[in-house]
Copies of this chain bind each other. A is one copy, B any other.
Amino acid sequence: MPARSSRHATLLEVAREANASKTSVSRYFSGERERLSPALQRRIGEAARQLGYRPNQMARGLKGGRSRLLGMLVADIRNPYSVAVMHGVEQACRERGLSLLVANTDNDPAQERTHLALLTSYRVEGLVINAAGSPTHELQDLAEQGLPLVLLDRWLEELDADRVGLDNALAVDMAIDHLSAQGYRHLLFLSEPVGQASPRQQRWQRFEQRLADEPALNGERHDPPLDGEAVQQVVGDFLARANRPAALLCANGNVTLAATRALQALGIRLGEVGLLGIDELDWCGLVPPGITTLAQPTEAIGRAAVQQLQARLDDSGSTLPPRRTLFPPTLNERGSTRLTTFDKAPDNHSENAKETP
């Protein structure tokens, strides 16, 4: 029984109880158990268990500067993409004996600043940053102070830090190539308001570039707000203007959701008008005839972020050049980009598709 009613047992108390010195107890809990005599080990172990002793990480961090804490700044924690990446980050942390201090900013630059200060005040050993705004100056300072940090998904041009994320140009290429191969000729690129977010900018730009390069391809780009009727309006207008076969390319998961709603509201059948979304979501196979997506390797991205941080941590001293780690997406082909599929069966049963000319 831990007995102590309201406080925590300390190293010193364990030492007393075990009739040993602070140093020995410290060693016992710092992976130097081997260097103690078997007898001492038993005494300390016993005493610690009896008092319910747990080393105080705060005190540990204070002395050695090793907080064993990693900070993660997330722009929108309710985004499944963010959570999936975070899961990868967390696993990688666990494998290294690190804990994760998570801060969600809800895409608010003010909160971003606050949380950044907060994270550093806990002396995190590294920072995974999925930025909302552009707290470039603050980050620059942190980087200069020698704090390892890696930019996740969204990055800031002015900040020359390590970056991990999707190969956005490749993703757009794959999307366009697939739609093109399926016979779609008139493309609508749909994004959340582009603003400062780099992935949106990059996908957007790549789309424009491809349109410019290939005269056979027609297209438009729009970034309406996702709440309200704007999306339906934009899609409706596009479809009224565009010749067929026409398709929608959604820049991320949120857009895919909004676009699917819009198409349904307009009474349009998926596939007849193509739909391809960047980001894979649980339900993409469920909406008949299934929504084609480009899945990001979220776990790998998360792990890569931590790995990069670790590299900086190990390297502390010499200045490695900033490194960019880009991952390719995976195409999940479903009915929404099958021009000839007018059937409503779920994707995994499309072999039973009945033609409805």
**A54–B145 contact, CB under 8 A?**
no
Residues of B within 8 A of A283 (CB): 257, 281-283, 286-287
A84 at the interface (CB under 8 A from B): yes
Residues of B within 8 A of A58 (CB): 58-59, 61-62, 67, 122-123
Partner of A101, one of B77, B101, B123, B261: B101
Given contacts A265-B348, A349-B267, contact A118 B99 (CB under 8 A): yes
- Provide the bound-state CA to CA distance between A90 and B345, in Å: 41
Residues of B within 8 A of A69 (CB): 122
Which residue of A260, A281, A286 has the most chain B CB atoms within 10 A of its CB atom? Answer: A286
Given contacts A4-B145, A122-B99, contact A77 B90 (CB under 8 A): yes
Residues of B within 8 A of A43 (CB): none
Residues of B within 8 A of A87 (CB): 77-78, 104
Residues of B within 8 A of A257 (CB): 282-283, 286
Contact with B along A269-292 (1 / 0, CB 8 A): 000000000000111011110000
What is the size, in residues, of chain A's interface with B at 8 Å between Cβ atoms? 61
Number of this chain's copies in the assembly equals: 2
Partner of A2, one of B57, B145, B349: B145
A264 at the interface (CB under 8 A from B): yes
Residues facing B in A1-29 (CB within 8 A) are: 2, 4-8
Given contacts A99-B101, A123-B58, contact A265 B80 (CB under 8 A): no
A245 at the interface (CB under 8 A from B): no
A219 at the interface (CB under 8 A from B): no
Residues of B within 8 A of A120 (CB): 54
Contact with B along A65-86 (1 / 0, CB 8 A): 0010100000001101001101
Q: For residue A84, which residue of chain B has the nearest CB?
A: B78
**B346–A264 contact, CB under 8 A?**
yes
A55 at the interface (CB under 8 A from B): yes
Residues of B within 8 A of A261 (CB): 285-286, 346
Residues of B within 8 A of A102 (CB): 100-102
Given contacts A7-B145, A100-B103, 14 further A-B contacts (CB under 8 A): A2-B141, A2-B145, A8-B123, A8-B145, A56-B62, A56-B121, A62-B62, A78-B80, A257-B283, A257-B286, A261-B346, A265-B348, A265-B349, A267-B349
